[in-house]
């Protein structure tokens, strides 16, 4: 079959800290009245599998389509499963729990879990918004364990002011949390292994605290990670890791970007709108909030109807 840009139909996740900003900002058709914290744009995990929302493959799970058309979509005859990216939009109306994702060595040592490295691109931010990444200088494991018992863990975390357009790299082993009033595009390796170590002493709608994973988290955290060791980027190549690369693009109304064959790309549209044209497939419109897989076998041009910012992710 002729390959074409595959527009994602995401999976929405209700979260205690979520809201309806994904509807307000991107026009996503969220379940009404629910606190939607996460839109899983690209996912091939049992916890949520995104599907294709357009064309002849519409309704098929992305992972299934990749396994069926591996070389055409990925450019390789053999390709990792599950799909090696998990991409989300996050709506943090409240602060998220303090958590950590293990690295590969920790997973082997504990005999469970899957490693996860990620990055956060700040799409919107209220005045004064912060993220938490790593610790204040000199914090030890024993100090943090004591603070957890006393309910003061937040005092030891490094609060970092953020602004729209920043990309924050969060390697596995980093204690982290997204603060209140942020809309974030999150690119990560395909794992849902998350160990919550502190949840700001809050309770859910039934009056119960959420489950914590203190033992696993303390085993996974790298206590030497401080903000000065984690890059913050705003233009060009935002992330260049062993797992994925993220580049930022910006084109004005009337501009064009050409896609050549050979490389699979994932396109995350942050602002603006336009259309992708080719000789081999029907035009595909895109707008802010859309996420598309551009198959390796596709060749065409992305033309912009408005000033547009976007991220391009490759693996």
* Residue 250 CB contacts under 8 Å (≥ 6 apart), including other chains: 307, 308, 309, 310
Angle at 158 between CA 86 and CA 121, to 5 degrees: 30
229 phi-psi bin (left φ>0, alpha ψ -120 to 50, beta other): alpha
User: Which 3 state secondary structure label does DSSP give 26?
Assistant: helix
Count of other CB atoms within 10 angstroms of residue 78: 8
Enzyme catalytic residues: 196
Cα-only R_g, the chain:
20
Q: How far apart are CA 234 and CA 196, in angstroms?
A: 29
Q: How far apart are CA 36 and CA 27, in angstroms?
A: 13
The order of strands in the sheet holding 167-170 is 11-19, 36-42, 86-92, 182-188, 118-125, 167-170, 232-233
H or E segment and range at residue 309: strand 308-314
Angle at 258 between CA 246 and CA 188, to 5 degrees: 20
As given in the structure block, the two tokens for residue 51 are: 């599907």
């Amino acid at each position: 079959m002729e390959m074409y840009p595959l527009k994602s139909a995401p999976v929405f996740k209700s979260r205690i800290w979520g809201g309806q900003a994904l509807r307000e900002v991107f026009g996503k058709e969220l379940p009404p009245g629910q606190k939607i914290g996460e839109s899983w744009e690209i996912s091939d995990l049992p916890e949520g599998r995104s599907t294709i929302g357009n064309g002849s493959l519409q309704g098929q799970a992305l992972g299934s389509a990749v396994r069926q058309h591996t070389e055409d979509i990925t450019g390789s005859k053999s390709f990792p499963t599950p799909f090696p990216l998990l991409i989300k939009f996050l709506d943090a109306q409240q602060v998220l729990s303090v958590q950590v994702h293990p690295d590969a060595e920790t997973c082997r040592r504990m005999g469970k879990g899957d490693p996860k490295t990620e990055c956060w691109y700040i799409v919107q931010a209220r005045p004064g918004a912060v993220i938490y990444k790593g610790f204040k200088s000199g914090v030890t494991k024993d100090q943090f364990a004591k603070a957890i018992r006393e309910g003061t863990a937040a005092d030891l975390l490094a609060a970092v002011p953020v602004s729209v357009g920043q990309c924050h790299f969060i390697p596995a082993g980093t204690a982290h949390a997204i603060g209140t009033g942020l809309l974030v595009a999150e690119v990560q390796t395909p794992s849902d292994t998350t160990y919550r170590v502190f949840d700001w002493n809050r309770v859910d709608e039934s009056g119960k605290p959420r489950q914590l994973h203190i033992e696993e988290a303390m085993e996974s955290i790298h206590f030497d990670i401080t903000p000065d060791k984690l890059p913050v980027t705003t233009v060009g190549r935002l992330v260049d890791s062993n797992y994925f690369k993220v580049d930022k693009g910006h084109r004005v109304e009337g501009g064009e970007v050409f896609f050549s064959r050979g490389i699979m790309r994932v396109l995350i549209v942050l602002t603006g709108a336009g259309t992708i044209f080719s000789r081999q497939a029907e035009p595909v419109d895109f707008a802010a909030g859309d996420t598309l897989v551009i198959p390796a076998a596709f060749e065409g041009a992305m033309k912009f109807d408005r000033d547009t910012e976007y991220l391009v992710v490759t693996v």
